[in-house]
Amino acid sequence: MQQITSKDYDRLYDLVCKHGFDVPCRLDYKFRGDNHVLIDHAVVKNKPDGICVSVRGCTYLSADEFQVSISFVFNTVKDMFKRDCHKSNLEWFDTFTNN
């Protein structure tokens, strides 16, 4: 069975923050000083202090009201989350659409 992935970060944000789903995903990461890009699988969750992408105790990205309040770039948590997803080349597994 083919895995359907999506980069629709608006829809992902709504699934997690408005509907309460934990959504599996994959994203790119690399270690400092190394240009080799690795891919890891993680889960997007809405926690009391904000939305985060993490796995095995490692948080790859997070966005919350405090981070937005000290940012001069973002007006909303959603904007910050979408930018971070884009930078990490995050793709989420769309198990919510019947294809």
Total-model pTM = 0.88
pLDDT digits (tens, 9 = 90+) for 13-55: 999 999 999 999 999 987 778 788 888 999 999 998 899 999 9
Helix (H) or strand (E) holding 61: strand 58-63
Hey, how many other C-beta atoms are within 10 angstroms of the C-beta on 61?
A: 20
Where are the domains positioned within the chain? 5-93
Which tokens in the block code for residue 27? 């994203």
